[in-house]
Amino acid sequence: MRTLLLAGLVACASTDRIEDGQPQTPAPMAPVVLAPKAPVVAPSPPPPPNCIADGKPYDLAVMKERVTYLASKELEGRVPGTDGDRATRKLLVDKFRCLGLTAAGTDGSFELPFETEGKQTANVVGYIAGTDPDVGDEIIYVGAHHDHEGNGHLGANDNASGIVGLLAVAQAIQQRPAKPKRTIVFAAFGAEEKGMIGSYHLAKNPPAKLPNDKVVQFINLDMIGSHSSRGLVAAMGALPKLASRKFLEKLDDKFPKLSVSIGGRARGSDYEPLCKLGVPYVFFWTPDARCYHQKCDTADRIDYPRMVDIAGLAGALTEQMADTDQDLAGFRAKHGCGV
């Protein structure tokens, strides 16, 4: 615009000028050449959100905030088929995506839907593919259930604590410079309180890329927020003849504020369906003498420092078993889940 205005002013000045009292023939005005308009380029879409490097995975304040949200009155106990259930699954899908996990569904979805008591809900499943040419297709599961009972039962320890621990483990593994040798699956199960409906559904309908015969270890996080109740965390299923036992015995020393009870058999959680197929498990669980399945299972009662430690222990076990040179498939073939 400024160039055209100046050209016009110069032309007018040339027309009005008089020399020797005679009007002068105006000089021809040079044509004005307009620069071509630059093509309009659509702005690039924003990159997908990335929370891999978003702070420390086992940050107490962050983990507390997540438990508080999951166990809030707004989510009403995360009962299958409710708004609270849908909000919880959305949070998990968003976190799995921003952590860079691969969706387990054939349609690129993290949600693997199923129905319980006429209500629609879903397991939320993502994974990190193994990189080793020999054992990369072997699978380590990290599992926790995302539902609870509702009707005033908000489920902070059972099992907001386990879900928050699972997210921390996923972030810790994604922050490593090297990807794991074995595939690691992160499975947030629905409808556990209805009888492990979600985990049984997944065992009966495994994603094509995650076949059951390739699963060599299941690590279960269910109620990891009440260490102070009895002063211990159980690591059930790590029997003396199983591979996980020696890893835990060495890792125990790195978490001196935890009292870890290693071994023993468990019952009634999401490791069970794959255990019946012969998959070894470790079930991290803290007893809750007062508030198990009670309305007092609220976020303000969680033993957060030890919950963080338990998640860290589970994460270290996951990493070491994913990268070990031991023949985990051989342990499964020989000993099953030890029952």
CATH of the domain at 280: 3.40.630.10
Q: Provide the whole-model pTM.
A: 0.86
Q: pLDDT for 273-295, tens place per residue?
A: 999 999 999 999 999 989 999 99
Alpha helices by DSSP H, listed for the chain, are: 2-16, 60-70, 83-98, 161-175, 197-204, 227-230, 243-251, 272-275, 304-323, 328-335
Q: Give me the pLDDT at residue 47, please.
A: 54
Q: What angle do CA 138, 144, 149 make, to 5 degrees?
A: 150
Q: Give me the pLDDT at residue 15, please.
A: 37
**Total number of domains constituting the chain:** 1
Peptide bond into 159 cis (omega under 30): yes
Residue 1 pLDDT exceeds 60: no
51 found inside a domain: no
Rg (CA), the chain: 30
Burial class of residue 64 in the structure, from the number of CB atoms within 10 Å of its CB (0-12 exposed, 13-18 middle, 19+ buried): middle
35 found inside a domain: no
Q: Tell the residue number behind the tokens 């054939």, with chain if given.
A: 106
34 found inside a domain: no
- Compute how many other C-beta atoms are within 10 angstroms of the C-beta atom of residue 178: 7
212 found inside a domain: yes
Q: At what angle do helices 304-323 and 243-251 cross, to 10 degrees?
A: 130
Q: Give me the pLDDT at residue 37, please.
A: 55
Q: What is the average pLDDT score of the chain? A: 90
16 found inside a domain: no
Lowest mean pLDDT among 32-36, 45-49, 283-287: 32-36
Tell me which residue of 161, 170, 186, 154 sits closest to 63, measured CA to CA: 161
**Residue 273, domain extent:** 60-335
More confident residue, 266 or 3: 266
Burial class of residue 53 in the structure, from the number of CB atoms within 10 Å of its CB (0-12 exposed, 13-18 middle, 19+ buried): exposed
Residue 328 pLDDT exceeds 90: yes
